[in-house]
Amino acid sequence: MIFRRLSRLIISFMMSAMLAHPATAQVDGSSTPNTDTFADQVDLSAFGTIAVHSRGRVKSFDSFTSEMMQFVCGTRRIDGQSPSFTYLDLMLRPERYIDRDVIFIRMKMIRTQIALALRTAGAAQDIPDFEDRMERFLKSGLISESLLRRDSVQMLLNRLRADIIRTSSKVEAIESAINVKNPEFLRGSLAVVPASAGGTEDAWLTLDALSGSVSHNHDENQQDQSLEEQLVHQWLAFVSSWQQGDAPGVNAAGAQLASLLPLVNPDLYPAQSRLSWESWYFRVKNMTWVWIIYLFSIIPLLASMAYRWPAARWIGMGLFVIAFGLHTFAVMLRWYVAERWPNSNMFEAITTAAWFGGCFAVIIELLVRHTPMRSLFALGSAVASMVALMATRLWPLDLRADISNMMPVLHDLWLYIHTNVIIFSYCLIFLASVTSGLYLVRRIWFALRGQNGSSDFVSVGGAGSLIATRSDGTNYLANTKTTFGQVLDGSTMILMELSFILLWTGLVMGAIWADHSWGRPWGWDPKEVFALNTFIIFALLIHVRIKVKDKGLWTALLAIVGCGVMLFNWIIINFAISGLHSYA
Amino acid sequence: MPGQPIKALLDFFSNIWLGVTLLVILFVYCSIGSAGVPTRLNIFAPAAWRHVRTARGIELTEFEWFHWWPFDLIIALICITLTVTTIRRIPLKVINLGVWMIHSGIIILALGSVIYFGTKVEGDSPVARRQVEIKLPDGQTRSLMVKPGNQVSLVTQSGRYTFQITSIDPQWELLSGADKGKKTYSVNLSVQTPQMQFIRQLIAGFPQYTEDLIRTDDPNQPFQRAVKATGTPLVDDTLDITLAYNPEKHFYLVNTRAIYLRTLGSREWIERPIESMPRFNEYFSSHDDVWLASNDLMPRLDPIDIAVPSVDEHDPLAGVDLHVTGFLPYAFEQTRRIPGGATLDPLVRLRIENTSGGVIRQELAAFDPASHSDAEGLLHFVWADSPAAVERFQEIRDPLLTIRIPEMSIEINHAISETTALNPELEFTIIEGTDFSFRVNNFQDGLSIRPGITDSLAIIEIQSPEKTFTRWVFADPKFTRDLPMQDVMGGHDEEIPVDDRIITTYTPGRRPAPLTIVAGPREEDLHLLTTLSPGTVSFQQIRVGEKIEFAPGNSLTVESYHARTKMVTKPAITPRAQRDPQMTAFLSMLRISLPDSGQVQSTWLGYHHYPFASGDETLRRFAYQPALLTLADGRRIEIMFSRQRRLLPAAVALDDFRIDTHIGGFTGQTSSILDWISLVRFQDKDGWTEPMEVRVNAPQEHRGLWFFQAQWDPPDPPRFQGDVGSNGLNYTVLGVGNRNGVAIQLLGCCIAVFGMIFAFYVKPILKRRHQTAVLARPTDSQAESELEENAALPEREPVTVGMEESP
């Protein structure tokens, strides 16, 4: 049976993918092993939840450092340290990092060119273990600031900067890494003190700024003054303990700061629970590892279809429900932490779209529980969610998990509905491609065995009726004659019809928003055009299905083409062809 | 039969395959027009995609591509097919209501779009916030747009008046009076009258709070309120200075081009629209017209000649057609030195190769301070006007610090050989017989202090009996100053009075650059001076084209040398790799030719986003560089390349501009902004309308046009030496457009949505009811089995939306 082989193939592929998954293994970016126990003894659990004002948002320190350190070392961890530790260490003991390989260069071509430039400039003569170091650099992408500042590398970067289309943004990323790493910048960015008597419009201060001003303000309110003095005192203790490598001192001062800072202006300070959850959310890597549970649900679900094992089905559904539950928790947590619905950047669009697919799958699985379609939608949703969450792990620098404010132009009810409806329809299109893919595999199997499958499709008008229960309690597909091909084709049609309506509605809502935001409902932006193109493919599907004899085959093919156009819109248009839309 | 062709045509248009074919064509048209076509296998690389619409000969914007006749034709054919098929093939019954609604919805949408796009006008309007209206005692009036640094001078019989906007606070908080706590726009105007100098503070919306600030002798508080010093808020009430709106009458259409003309001295620009001009490719008739980008392929010569006739009776060249004879989408004006000419201005082009095969090319001009040496100062090109000068260039001398203590008549000369920059442990040198000691931190020769002024300096630390301080000793003593010792954190230094008990002068050392090319004294003389090994100077003749190995593996070749050169200004084409796609139009240039008394005058014009009336009225971040043509008859015509404009239904003024921010206020990053809000007023017969709030996502309508919040004026630090920084919020840019037919479009879309829901979800229920009704008839097991079997007999049951094939 084809499905047996297929499931084996998929299982072995996924296992190998898991083992080779780069994001699951932490790369140690250092050139020397960590022998510093200071890092192990420092406890930033309290300090990690202090509030930092950054880019118009108040976030937890752990969330903030996770975002900032990506600019320096990408997704790499320096000596296995947490981003929060690395941030503070770069800030307070910068001398340790001048010649350490901590700056991440993403593009392999640039790594090769830098290594070549250093080699031809004779860097091997004055750098110990030059070849080993370059080998590690080419592999991990981490290099030191001192090497980047060498004339030969600077000349190379100047040349690359001139190419605006291909490499200038990469050189800018390297420069911003050097700038962010600068201790002055790190200190200046750490705005953790709310204006003591101010409102929401007043700027937050750094503890350094507070230290500078506190000694001059003797006529201030006595209580505030003493609090500020305490803050400054603890901050200076924190800094000096850190610089001396005194972990207990750091821990004590850090905990003190965490308890004192909210008192500066309790009205402005975010709730401690939100900050703690935000820190937790970033410490557990945004829960994107849930993709593994989705993967483990796919395996028995496929097996249940191939072998018709009820047990496999129950295990698969059980795992799917667990994965979806965790996924739901992650989406809700992000909603709570960000204080807005998570759909304003690529990371959120992808994970939320996949979550919509999960919601849909749960509802429809309840409807089809007595039909042969059962567990198909869960399977489709598991694949969609797995791919989405895996993508965020594979390309963390393109799909950044940072929580930031929405652009002013996105604050609009219509836009909210528009984006959610569109990403929901996109997820359904992906689900339809899963059932279509299975259908095509089945047809290929038929073709290989010389069987004709051209009549293997459902023939009712309006696929929604497939799941409707008849007056006698049975279901249209609950028939011994129903083939698996018909079940797959029917599922594709259910998904396709719903996504057809949602995509159209979403486009119209987008147009309503654009009309009052940009002054035109339709701007022929590449994003819009390819959403329309996706719709055209589904319009074609509907009309081709009317005319052709082999309806199942054509439906499956066009559903996959439609999914291809949708993914093209999401990936190529977003990353290669710029448009007005930031995501979706 | 006469009906035959019509029937054949109707049959043709009622074929679903025609509809399918048209949809495929539409898909392809949309795809290649929007994403373009991939030219490489790696479709993830932005460089892989080539736009079809930007190809030479097509040259359409996205908007134009989707309103080009092929697109209109495809849509028209789809609509005809939909109409004919629906009417002829789908009976209008309840069961088919869905497909009827979808098809008619799409046709209504198409009709709405014809109205919408057929009448679409879209542009933007920059509106400055205020202008200062000045009325002098002799009755002269003048207005001055409020922007940082703007100034004007007026001459009267009693003398000269100068007004300059010294600072603008867009968030000025009123500190007293009934309006205490309100934030408004405040402008400080520096006023120099023939009698006195003061600052007049003008507050938008509150003329009653206008007051003057006058100078004091207190260095801690250089200005004080006139009311405190003299008892009256205004020190010169003969000057009538007020803030007034700065209304804008026009809006400028997106993606359009126009030439603006006026006679020199007149204020109003006269527009000449340019219809259909290329946008994306280079068009010019001679490679000599431009500076070519060195690494790109030689662009092909493709001359154009687009006539731009006058359309306005006030046109200063009415009746004379201008011609666009060249277009460059990415270029900028650049002046370069080229061989020839009568002036002595030596120029060399060099090629330096290093051991690892790296090649550096360098162009040096001996008389140009900006280009007589390379960035690192390793390479220098000089002109020696005499044999003695040649000798001087070979001289090596340490920099010299001269210290004089006038009180004790001590003078010492200290040749600087050591600095703390190289040796942080360097000891202080005691000046014998005094309590002073010093050490040199560093020295720097040829430092650019401000544009056009270079000087050399030594930074020294001086220990006096009281304290240790830093002195910057310049070769030109007027720049010499004292500063307190830098603290460890590198904090800002405040200047302190120069300690005149110890007088210092600095004489820069002389040491040729490691590689110095000496031209002269005869024009054909060219020598290479190298000081690569310490203490030795080598001097050898250079022949053009000959490679000279100045160090093992490193060589220098003078590729060309010209003693006499001239400066030529032409547009330089930006290399392809450096073209920012977002900057389309902004960096474009066109060449305009004008027939003048049997001759043709030509000039290149750079793009201007708005044709501002004068430099003073040009908003920050926008250009103002009109070209000046002098005709054979002596007339002088100013000319500018910009966009087409339309009159607004009423002039618009910006009453106030605010930003709403997230928690923590505006931090300089856009992400801290929640909303931008322009408070606008329109001129009507009674004055100004009530203020209307235009914010992002919330446009306002006035007399048929909608106004959107499009751009703002962010804070902007000084951009060059002498520039005045801006706190921003001095202007807004409003998007302006009409929206005819939007309601019809929306109606069509909604009908289609309801049709889809009906077709996919209501129709099957109706059919199922019908089937149940069949089953409910006399119990007939055969009927049931027939229905079940239908599942396997697709041809007998129409699928999905219910369009049945006619037999």
Chain A nearest-CA distance from B147, in A, is 26
CB contact under 8 A, A462 and B788: no
CB contact under 8 A, B750 and A513: no
Q: Does A570 touch chain B (CB under 8 A)?
A: no
Ramachandran region of residue B456, left (φ > 0), alpha (ψ -120 to 50) or beta?
Answer: beta
Residue B683 belongs to a domain: no
Q: CA nearest B257: which of B61, B450, B525?
A: B61
B556 & B619 share domain: no
d(CA B99, CA B83): 11
The tokens for B384 are 């020696």
B378 & B518 share domain: yes
Chain B nearest-CA distance from A316, in A, is 30
Residue B320 belongs to a domain: yes
The tokens for B400 are 């010299």
Of A162, A408, A508, the CB nearest to B577: A162
User: CB-based burial of residue B362 (10 Å sphere; 0-12 exposed, 13-18 middle, 19+ buried)?
Assistant: middle
Confidence of residue A416 (pLDDT cuts 50, 70, 90): confident
Residue type, B524: E
Confidence of residue A565 (pLDDT cuts 50, 70, 90): very high
CB contact under 8 A, B35 and A530: yes
CB contact under 8 A, B667 and A203: yes
d(CA B106, CA B100): 10
Of B27, B44, B698, the CB nearest to A575: B44
Does residue A260 contact residue A207 with C-beta atoms inside 8 Å? no
Q: How many other CB atoms sit within 10 Å of the CB of residue A67? A: 20
Q: Which helix (H) or strand (E) holds A552?
A: helix A551-568
Q: CA nearest B266: which of B639, B797, B732, B689?
A: B639
Chain B nearest-CA distance from A208, in A, is 12
C-alpha distances in Å from residue A465, one per residue of A449, A490, B765: 33, 10, 7
The tokens for B770 are 């019908």
Chain B nearest-CA distance from A336, in A, is 17
Of A57, A415, A547, the CB nearest to B17: A547
Q: What is the pLDDT of residues A435-485, one digit of tens each?
A: 999 999 999 999 999 888 787 887 665 666 776 666 666 666 666 677 888
Residue B104 belongs to a domain: no
The tokens for B292 are 């070519």
Contacts with A409 from chain B: Cβ below 8 Å: 696-697
Q: What is residue B764's predicted lDDT score, i.e. its pLDDT? A: 82
B270 & B378 share domain: no
The series of mean pLDDT values per 10 residues for chain B, 807 residues long, is 79 90 96 88 82 89 91 95 93 92 96 92 95 93 93 92 93 85 92 92 92 85 86 89 96 95 95 92 90 81 94 93 94 90 91 76 87 80 90 83 87 85 84 87 76 79 85 86 63 68 86 85 91 77 89 87 92 86 84 91 95 94 94 94 96 94 85 92 93 92 93 89 86 94 94 94 82 70 47 35 32
Chain A nearest-CA distance from B163, in A, is 34
d(CA A210, CA B59): 58
Please list, in sequence order, all residues whose beta carbon lies within 8 angstroms of the beta carbon of residue B339, skipping any fewer than 6 positions away. Answer: B347, B560, B562, B564, B565
Does residue B591 contact residue B324 with C-beta atoms inside 8 Å? yes
Does residue A62 contact residue A102 with C-beta atoms inside 8 Å? no
The range of the structural domain enclosing residue B391 comes to 344-395+512-566
E-strand spans in B542-621? Answer: 547-551, 554-573, 589-596, 599-606
> Dihedral angle at the C-alpha atoms of A365, A367, A372, A373, nearest 10 degrees?
-50
B203 & B261 share domain: no
Ramachandran region of residue A467, left (φ > 0), alpha (ψ -120 to 50) or beta?
Answer: alpha
d(CA A212, CA A229): 11
Q: What is the mean pLDDT of chain A?
A: 85
Q: What is the chain A residue with the closest CA to B46?
A: A576
B520 & B371 share domain: yes
d(CA A519, CA B545): 62
Of A163, A411, A498, the CB nearest to B577: A163
Q: Does A190 have pLDDT greater than 90?
A: yes
Last residue of a domain, one of B612, B643, B674: B643
Quote the pTM value: 0.83
Please list, in sequence order, all residues whose beta carbon lies within 8 angstroms of the beta carbon of residue B584, skipping any fewer than 6 positions away. Answer: B279, B280, B329
Contacts with B66 from chain A: Cβ below 8 Å: 524
Residue B325 belongs to a domain: yes
E-strand spans in B354-496? Answer: 359-365, 379-383, 400-405, 410-415, 429-430, 437-450, 453-463, 468-474, 481-484
Residue B324 belongs to a domain: yes
Residue type, A372: P
Q: What is the pLDDT of residues A224-280, one digit of tens each?
A: 557 888 999 999 999 999 999 999 999 999 999 999 999 988 888 999 999 999 999
Of A191, A408, A523, the CB nearest to B675: A408
Contacts with B575 from chain A: Cβ below 8 Å: 162
Q: What is residue A479's predicted lDDT score, i.e. its pLDDT? A: 66
d(CA B91, CA B99): 10
Q: What is the chain A residue with the closest CA to B50?
A: A577
B150 & B223 share domain: yes
Chain B nearest-CA distance from A179, in A, is 17
d(CA A22, CA B533): 52
Residue type, B156: T
Contacts with A460 from chain B: Cβ below 8 Å: 764, 767, 791, 797, 799
Residue B803 belongs to a domain: no
3 state SS of A38 = helix
Q: What is the chain A residue with the closest CA to B749?
A: A508
Q: CA nearest A350: which of A302, A284, A286, A408?
A: A286
Q: What is residue B720's predicted lDDT score, i.e. its pLDDT? A: 78
Residue with tokens 């307190």, as numbered in its chain: B484
Chain B nearest-CA distance from A185, in A, is 14
Chain A nearest-CA distance from B709, in A, is 8
B528 & B461 share domain: no
Of B20, B578, B667, the CB nearest to A540: B20
CB contact under 8 A, B63 and A166: no
Residue B746 belongs to a domain: no
d(CA B176, CA B187): 17
The tokens for B760 are 């996919």
C-alpha distances in Å from residue B3, one per residue of B15, B87, B806: 19, 18, 20
Confidence of residue A21 (pLDDT cuts 50, 70, 90): very low
B500 & B370 share domain: no
CA neighbours closer than 13 Å in the CB half-sphere of residue B94 = 7
Q: What is the chain A residue with the closest CA to B793?
A: A459
CB contact under 8 A, B798 and A268: no
Q: Which of A455, A574, A577 to mutate to test the interface with B (most CBs of B within 10 A)?
A: A577
Residue type, B566: K
For chain A positions 321-360, those within 8 Å of chain B (CB to CB) are: none
B159 & B237 share domain: yes
Last residue of a domain, one of B545, B566, B587: B566
Q: Does A115 touch chain B (CB under 8 A)?
A: no
Does residue A538 contact residue A499 with C-beta atoms inside 8 Å? yes
Chain B nearest-CA distance from A196, in A, is 12
Does residue A309 contact residue A303 with C-beta atoms inside 8 Å? yes
CB contact under 8 A, A461 and B800: yes
CB contact under 8 A, B735 and A519: yes
Q: What is residue B577's predicted lDDT score, i.e. its pLDDT? A: 80
d(CA B364, CA B383): 11
For B727-740, letters b (16+ CB in 10 Å) and e give: ebbbbbbbbbbbbe
CB contact under 8 A, B696 and A409: yes
CB contact under 8 A, B764 and A464: yes
Q: Does A191 touch chain B (CB under 8 A)?
A: yes
Q: Does A482 touch chain B (CB under 8 A)?
A: yes
d(CA B140, CA A161): 54
B423 & B481 share domain: yes
CA neighbours closer than 13 Å in the CB half-sphere of residue A286 = 24
Of A162, A508, A519, the CB nearest to B737: A519
CB contact under 8 A, A166 and B47: yes
Of A268, A409, A455, the CB nearest to B794: A455
Q: Does A380 have pLDDT greater than 80?
A: yes
A-B C-beta contacts closer than 8 Å? 268
CA B580, chain centre distance (Å): 11
d(CA B239, CA B161): 10
CB contact under 8 A, B662 and A511: no
State percent of chain A over pLDDT 70: 87
Last residue of a domain, one of B62, B89, B116: B89
Q: What is the pLDDT of residues A288-322, one digit of tens each?
A: 999 999 999 999 999 888 788 889 999 999 999 99
The tally of domains found in chain B comes to: 5
d(CA B3, CA A581): 52
Q: What is residue B802's predicted lDDT score, i.e. its pLDDT? A: 36
Alpha helices in B668-780 (DSSP H): 742-757, 763-776
Q: What is residue B788's predicted lDDT score, i.e. its pLDDT? A: 45
Chain A nearest-CA distance from B208, in A, is 28
Q: What is residue A470's predicted lDDT score, i.e. its pLDDT? A: 64
Residue B64 belongs to a domain: yes
For B251-285, letters b (16+ CB in 10 Å) and e give: bbbbbbbbbbbbeeeeeebbbbebeebbbbbbbbe
B159 & B134 share domain: yes
The tokens for B617 are 């009225």
CB contact under 8 A, A56 and B62: no
Q: Which DSSP string do the residues of B94-163 spell out, in sequence order?
A: GGGHHHHHHHHHHHHHHHHHHHHHHH--EEEEEEESEEEEEE-TTS-EEEEE--TT-EEEEEETTEEEEE
Please list, in sequence order, all residues whose beta carbon lies within 8 angstroms of the beta carbon of residue B297, skipping any fewer than 6 positions away. Answer: none
Q: Which of A513, A543, A551, A553 to mutate to test the interface with B (most CBs of B within 10 A)?
A: A543
Q: What is the mean pLDDT of residues A536-546?
A: 93
Q: What is residue B576's predicted lDDT score, i.e. its pLDDT? A: 83
CA neighbours closer than 13 Å in the CB half-sphere of residue A386 = 21
B499 & B452 share domain: yes
Contacts with A452 from chain B: Cβ below 8 Å: none
Q: What is residue B796's predicted lDDT score, i.e. its pLDDT? A: 32
Q: How many other CB atoms sit within 10 Å of the CB of residue B539? A: 15
The tokens for B118 are 């057929």
Q: What is residue B426's predicted lDDT score, i.e. its pLDDT? A: 86
d(CA B75, CA B24): 12
Residue type, B763: K
Alpha helices in B182-293 (DSSP H): 226-230
Strand duo B481-484 + B468-474: pairing: antiparallel
Of B48, B672, B763, the CB nearest to A461: B763
C-alpha distances in Å from residue A118, one per residue of A73, A108, A112, A161, B649: 20, 15, 10, 18, 64
Of A405, A464, A498, the CB nearest to B671: A405
